[in-house]
A and B are shown apart, each in its own frame.
Chain A
Amino acid sequence: MSVSRPFSIARWFHRRGWSDLIIGLPYGWLLLLFLLPFLIVLAMSVGSQAPTAPPVGFGGEYPWINPRGYQRLFTDDLYIRSFLISLMNAGLATLLCLGLGYPMALGLTRVAKSWRNILLMLVILPFWTSFLLRVYAWMGLMGKSSWFNQLLTDGWNLLVPVDWAVKSIPMMHSNFAVVLVMVYTYLPFMILPLYSSLERLDPTLDEAAMDLGSRPFRVFLDVTLPQSVPGIIAGGLLVFIPAAGELVIPTLVGDASTPMIGRVIADEFNSARDWPMASAVAVALLVLMVGPTMLYSRYQARAEEGPGK
Chain B
Amino acid sequence: MAADVEPFLRIEGVSKNFGPFQAVKDVNLTIGKGEIFALLGGSGCGKTTLLRMLAGFEEPSSGRIFLDGQDMTGVPPWERPVHMMFQSYALFPHMTVEKNIGYGLKHERMTAAERTDRVRAMLDLVQLTPFAVRKPHQISGGQRQRVALARALARQPKLLLLDEPLAALDKKLREHTQFELMSIQERTGVTFIVVTHDQEEAMTLADRIAVMDRGAVQQVGPPGEVYEHPASRFVASFLGSISQYEARVLRIEGAEALLDVPAFETPVRATAIPGLVEGEVLTLAVRPEKLAIHRHPPGGPNAIPGEIKDLAYFGKDSLYRVTLPSGQLISVHAVNARRGGEARPDWYDKVWVAFEPAAAILLRG
Docked complex Cα distance between A34 and B136 (Å): 41
Nearest CB on B from A305, distance (A): 9
Question: Are B94 and A212 in contact, with the CB atoms below 8 A?
Answer: no
**Chain A interface mostly:** helix
- B-chain residues with CB within 8 Å of residue A161 when the two chains form the complex: none
Which residues of chain A (158-214) have a CB below 8 Å from chain B? 202, 204-205, 207-214
Interface string of A7-24 (1 = CB under 8 A from B): 000000000000000000
Interface string of B85-107 (1 = CB under 8 A from A): 01010111110000000011011
- A-chain residues with CB within 8 Å of residue B108 when the two chains form the complex: 213
Given A205-B90, A223-B92, the answer on whether A212 and B136 have CB atoms closer than 8 Å is no
Nearest CB on B from A216, distance (A): 8
Nearest CB on A from B206, distance (A): 22
Asked whether any CB of chain B lies closer than 8 Å to the CB of A26, the reply is no
Cβ-closest chain A residue relative to B108: A213
- Count of inter-chain pairs, beta carbons less than 8 A: 69
- A-chain residues with CB within 8 Å of residue B10 when the two chains form the complex: none
Docked complex Cα distance between A214 and B91 (Å): 15
Asked whether any CB of chain A lies closer than 8 Å to the CB of B179, the reply is no
Cβ-closest chain A residue relative to B83: A211
- A-chain residues with CB within 8 Å of residue B107 when the two chains form the complex: 212-214
Asked whether any CB of chain B lies closer than 8 Å to the CB of A306, the reply is yes
Nearest CB on B from A289, distance (A): 28
Q: Which of A210, A308, A309 has the most CB of B within 10 A?
A: A210
Question: Are A204 and B90 in contact, with the CB atoms below 8 A?
Answer: yes
Cβ-closest chain A residue relative to B163: A204
Question: Are A213 and B155 in contact, with the CB atoms below 8 A?
Answer: yes
Given A204-B86, A306-B135, the answer on whether A212 and B104 have CB atoms closer than 8 Å is yes
Which residues of chain B (6-38) have a CB below 8 Å from chain A? none
Interface string of B45-57 (1 = CB under 8 A from A): 0000000000111
- A-chain residues with CB within 8 Å of residue B55 when the two chains form the complex: 207, 211
Question: Are A227 and B86 in contact, with the CB atoms below 8 A?
Answer: no
Asked whether any CB of chain A lies closer than 8 Å to the CB of B234, the reply is no
Docked complex Cα distance between A70 and B78 (Å): 60
- A-chain residues with CB within 8 Å of residue B76 when the two chains form the complex: 210, 215
Asked whether any CB of chain B lies closer than 8 Å to the CB of A63, the reply is no
Nearest CB on A from B282, distance (A): 45
Question: Are A207 and B137 in contact, with the CB atoms below 8 A?
Answer: no
Question: Are A205 and B92 in contact, with the CB atoms below 8 A?
Answer: yes
Docked complex Cα distance between A204 and B91 (Å): 9
Docked complex Cα distance between A205 and B152 (Å): 13
Interface string of B234-271 (1 = CB under 8 A from A): 00000000000000000000000000000000000000
Docked complex Cα distance between A208 and B94 (Å): 14
Docked complex Cα distance between A263 and B94 (Å): 43
Asked whether any CB of chain B lies closer than 8 Å to the CB of A226, the reply is yes
Docked complex Cα distance between A207 and B76 (Å): 11
Which residues of chain A (199-252) have a CB below 8 Å from chain B? 202, 204-205, 207-215, 222-223, 226-227
Nearest CB on A from B58, distance (A): 11
Question: Are A202 and B78 in contact, with the CB atoms below 8 A?
Answer: no
Nearest CB on B from A234, distance (A): 17
> Would you list 26 pairs from A and B whose C-beta atoms are within 8 A, ordered by A residue?
A205-B93, A208-B84, A208-B92, A209-B92, A209-B103, A210-B76, A210-B77, A210-B78, A211-B78, A211-B84, A211-B152, A212-B78, A212-B104, A212-B151, A212-B155, A213-B106, A214-B78, A214-B106, A214-B107, A215-B76, A215-B78, A222-B92, A222-B103, A227-B94, A307-B136, A309-B93
- 6 smallest A-B Cβ distances: which pairs? A212-B104, A213-B107, A208-B90, A307-B137, A204-B90, A210-B77
Spell out A's residues near B (CB within 8 Å). 202, 204-205, 207-215, 222-223, 226-227, 306-309
Spell out B's residues near A (CB within 8 Å). 55-57, 76-79, 82-84, 86, 88, 90-94, 103-104, 106-108, 135-137, 151-152, 155
Given A202-B88, A210-B76, A211-B56, output 12 extra A-B contacts at Cβ < 8 Å: A202-B90, A205-B92, A207-B77, A208-B84, A211-B57, A211-B77, A212-B107, A212-B152, A212-B155, A213-B108, A215-B78, A307-B135
